[in-house]
Chain A
Amino acid sequence: MGNVTSAVLVLIERCGKGGFEPLSLQCLELGRRVAGELGAKLTATLLGREVRSAAEELRHYGVDGVGVAEHPALDAYNPEAWAAALLRVIHQLQPRLVLMGDTPTAADLAPRVAFALGAGLVTDCVNIEVDAGEPLFTKPIFSGNAMAVYASSTGVTLATLRSGSDDAAARREQAAGDITEVEVEIRPGQAPVECVESIWEEEDGVSLGQAAVVVSGGRGIGGAEGFALLSALARILGGAVGASKPAVDCGWITPAAQVGQTGTVVAPSLYIAVGISGAMQHLSGMLASKVIVAINKSPDAPIFGIADYGVTGKYEEVIPAFTDAIAQWRA
């Protein structure tokens, strides 16, 4: 058994509607397993303006404790304020491991905190296992063409977890664990970077990372017009449109739509790949999808090997008929 006072700390983010970020709950599930193997406690932490009631709710997710840091400056993500607060939490709770979801917030926050602590950081982990008391971190490298397993030599290590790597922790009837308040001191104007304007983004359609259905097109789409067919299908399914890098490079669709290791990593319940042959770079960013449908001209396309349903044919004929059929039931 490891040191009983050591802890695995999981940063819990909240989504717009006020619930917990699903990926944060996946981190909690992985954190519980790792903490068990390390003989460590599982502690969740919440940062925000007022997070007391959220902390109470978190006690239903199988944690040994919840660390909360409250401050008006922590209301929405602010790099310098959040980094200062998380550092305080880490100093007070002395975890051995700090886990967070591989979210836009963590992409900025995790390295700030890791470098401030002199700690190792492994981003984009798909698994953490414990070998002889030592945590080992698995992540894709070379655009998903290889998996690397790292050990960290620092006293505390940070890791971000890729979406879909674990199930989300389930809510339990029973609440447990104490809530620890962590004092944070954030002086306004302390940060060198000054925000002069803040624009809250109205979601334009469904965001790619969160969509339950993603309809993606690749080089086989042949032009921007083809993406209009995919958009129509995505609209009817309440999903988002994605793309492979070659389609983005051709200028047929915005770079923000790129799915893959060098774009957005997605794990929807339904992924429809159209005219995508399947470079690992792309596959690595969508393999965790629950159901994968591939539509491709070439029966030899590697994408069929990882798909649940496949159609060999011209997408210009398949997609409109497919869309119409769905529209008819939905009507």
Chain B
Amino acid sequence: MNIIEIKNLSFFYRVLNNNHGSLKELFRDFLRGKLSIENYMAISNISFTVKKGQTVAIIGKNGAGKSTLLKILARVMQPTSGSIFINGSIAPMIELGAGFNTELTGRENILFYSSLIGRDINEVKPRIPKIADWAGVTDHLDYQLRTYSTGMVARLAFSVATDQVPNLLLIDEILSVGDEEFAIKSKNRMKQIHESGCTMILVSHDLDAVNEMADEVIWLDKGTIKMIGSSSEVISAYKASGN
């Protein structure tokens, strides 16, 4: 069963030729007749499918369109053209703790973050002790997040994000958080999630991690798919191209 089907997907940024940060500049250039619109193509004509339970990694240089693609998959941005079909619930793990507020307590942040990624907070409430316990912050649950160490925040974010297994998990460069102990702990949890049949899309520059986790790799270059295939194949080709 395909959980993601993408056909001829393109994404354009429409940019004015000069960078207008203000109304004044826009007005000035408009008067001088210097205004024109250019299309910047972030992704052009991409098609691929992902089967249920697969782990797919997206690699490529900076600016190749990886993050844009992930944002389109997360439904944050609408594609300019082409079709996208996703079957099931999506949980983004793009920048862990993006919704955390340092002035709120751990408990309040758990609820808010859960609600942000689309969970029913009435279901989350009874799970708070479990989430906090996994992250090792049980004693600090009612303190403000700014009193937490960086590692504690990362652990808490990871714990909330992986508390319920979605159909599709989107991951952007988050596998390298915290100390060694936590790295092992989180890797184990990722494995568990993977084994439970969750589909994962990950974007990473860490080729070793990609090799270890992914079944399939998509190599993006300048907004198009340069290569798609098994991870060892694509990674060796990617390395050979001088990246």
- Whether A associates with B in a native complex is no
